[in-house]
Amino acid sequence: MLRRLFLAAIVLCALTQQTQRVWSQQPTAQQTAAQQTASQQTPPSATPKTDPASAQSKDTVGSDTLFQRGLTTEQFAQLSARLSEPNGYFDTDNLISNESSYLHVMGKLRQLKLSGGAFIGVGPDQSFSYIAQIRPRIAFMVDIRRDNLLQHVWFKSLFALSRNRMEYLCLMFGKPVPADLKTWDTRSIQDIVAYLDKNSSKRELFTKTVADVQARVKSFGLKLEPSELETITRIHTAFFEAGPNLKFTSKGRAPRYYYPDYRDLLLEKDLTGKQCNYLVTEGDFRYLQTLEERNLVVPVVGNLAGGQALRQIAQFLREKGERVSAFYTSNVEFYLMRGYQDTEFDQFARNLSTLPRNANSVIIRSYFNGTWGYEHPQTVSGYYSTQLLQTMDSFVKEYDAGGYRSYTDLIGKHLLDLR
């Protein structure tokens, strides 16, 4: 009897040690990538070569938990700092987009069934509309100007203070919040814009919201200088003073006649006639709000041709077994191709090639008609800007083959037809 108990104890101990070894052996990011890539079903027509930036089709348990739970305040602040580069310069305030065509890619994105993954975008809140449709698990807002990070911190505070999209816009512009706020959950964006236009902004409401925003901003864990808190108030003041008439401005230059105001951006449609700004439906607003609450919209100071931001994002995503679904570059590549250093576009292309991706991962860019005196074939009548869509794989392949020798090459090759 004692011998049997002794043998059973030995077996139980061995099983326990084996279990502990299994749980303690966590694979490296490279091992995980290799295992997951090998498990994918590759169609016969696909290239047999293994791309180090290829996306994984299955997330690790750890990353699933992270994206469901979100980042802690400390993790959020540390990640933003880890990814960021020193502040750079650009001669615009970029408080709102100047791309009236920004939604013209939406129908194609739906057709591609693009969803999940990670979103990377530049600029202020036009990226939110792409996020609302794609529903990524995490988003990175990257811009060379630290003021853009501060503006996204401001957006984050407004999401935290708002019960719905109507209140969000009222806090943004200093408008009185309607007494029947809950009923606005199902109202159209036209109704909301009409309310904003009808009701005057109130200085006392703005002053109170500024104080509430400042308190929220300080709770996000980011290291901000007093002057940066003042910049956040300056951004807020611009929205308060101009209201929905606010337009994109450049330093020393008046807004161009064709620039949309904030109202135009709210009411804009895609090429199928669908309104799909992130504030059109309560569901889209709440998806953004939830991402912000879980600290999964990460503001980053970074040059797309720099040596840190995009490469660090690539490393983070590989560690988490995640891939980029969409990368919105606006017209940044135009400036990189005429940059002060001949290597700027090359560095950007090399940075992009490190990002984990799959065959559906896309680049969303904008082109402004009149650049080089060329009207783009995909230009829509009545729009000065043109949205363009290209797969990341086709970009990397063309760049590796030496095919991008001019900006005309960039905006003319391997583009998906949006119509």
The predicted model scores a pTM of 0.84
Residue 40 inside a domain? The answer is no
Q: Strands (DSSP E) along 267-379, which ranges?
A: 297-301, 324-330, 362-368
Residue 27 lies in a domain: no
The answer to the question of residue 66 being in a domain is yes
As a whole-number percent, the residues of the chain with pLDDT over 90 amount to 76
282 domain residue, yes or no: yes
SS3 of 83-96: HCCCCCCCCECCCC
Q: How far apart are CA 169 and CA 158, in angstroms?
A: 9
Which pLDDT value is given to residue 48? 35
Whole domain around residue 94: which residue ranges? 61-410
| Number of domains comprising the chain | 1
Q: Tell me how far apart the alpha carbons of residues 393 and 314 are, in angstroms, rounded to a whole number.
A: 15
Check residue 45 and report its DSSP letter.
T
What the block records as the tokens of 392 is 């990341």
Whether the predicted pLDDT of 399 surpasses 50: yes
Give residue 373's pLDDT. Answer: 62
Q: Work out the average pLDDT over 149-171.
A: 98
Contacts of 371 (CB under 8 A, 6+ apart): 334, 407
Q: Binning pLDDT at 50, 70 and 90, where does residue 16 land?
A: very low
Q: How many CB atoms lie within 10 A of CB 388?
A: 22
- Residue 62 identity (one-letter amino acid): G
CB atoms inside a 10 Å sphere around CB 14:
10
List, for residues 24-83, the tens digit of each pLDDT value: 333 333 334 333 333 333 333 333 343 445 444 343 446 788 899 999 999 999 999 999
Write the pLDDT tens digit of every residue in 222-278.
Answer: 999 999 999 999 999 999 999 999 999 876 666 678 899 999 999 999 999 999 999
Is the Cα dihedral 338, 141, 262, 287 positive or negative?
A: positive
Q: Which residue has the higher pLDDT, 247 or 21?
A: 247
**In a domain? residue 129:** yes
Q: Has residue 160 been placed in a domain? A: yes
Residue at 109 is within a domain: yes
DSSP E strands in 122-166: the ranges are: 138-143
Residue identified by tokens 């943004």 is 172
User: How many CB atoms are located within 10 Å of the residue 342 CB?
Assistant: 8
152 vs 141: CA distance, rounded Å = 8
313: nearest Cα among 60, 53, 133, 126: 53
Residue 358 CB contacts under 8 Å (≥ 6 apart), including other chains: 54, 55, 57, 323
In a domain, 37, yes or no: no
